[in-house]
Amino acid sequence: MGYEQQDRDEEEELSWKRELQDQGLLVTDVRDRQYFKSIYFREPGGTLFEIATDPPGFTWDESEEKLGQALKLINFKFLTLSFIC
């Protein structure tokens, strides 16, 4: 399950990470996903959650006027293939 909140930045994401760890949950390091940064954790029932930042956003590599006009694929250097939590 993914969760994105407008205007969430990396500082707030790190605050979430500390709070979740204080509750005894295993939380990943911040993962750079090119258009946003994410942390991942599993709740006790096993559901995987993602908390993502808003910036830098989809205008990272194209102007707002051009959004959706071309297929954009993630640069694989931003992809972490290791299993999460």
Pick the CATH number of 2-57+74-78 from 3.10.180.10, 1.10.1740.10, 3.60.20.10, 3.60.110.10: 3.10.180.10
Residue 53 near residue 13 (C-beta atoms within 8 A): yes
Q: Provide the sign of the torsion angle of the four alpha carbons 34, 36, 41, 47, taken in this order.
A: negative
% the chain with pLDDT above 70: 73
Calculate the average pLDDT of the chain. Answer: 79
User: Across residues 58-85, what is the average pLDDT?
Assistant: 70
Write down the pLDDT at residue 85. Answer: 47
Write down the pLDDT at residue 24. Answer: 94
Confidence of residue 3 (pLDDT cuts 50, 70, 90): low
Other CB atoms within 10 A of residue 27 CB: 20
Write down the pLDDT at residue 28. Answer: 92
User: Is residue 57 predicted with pLDDT exceeding 60?
Assistant: yes
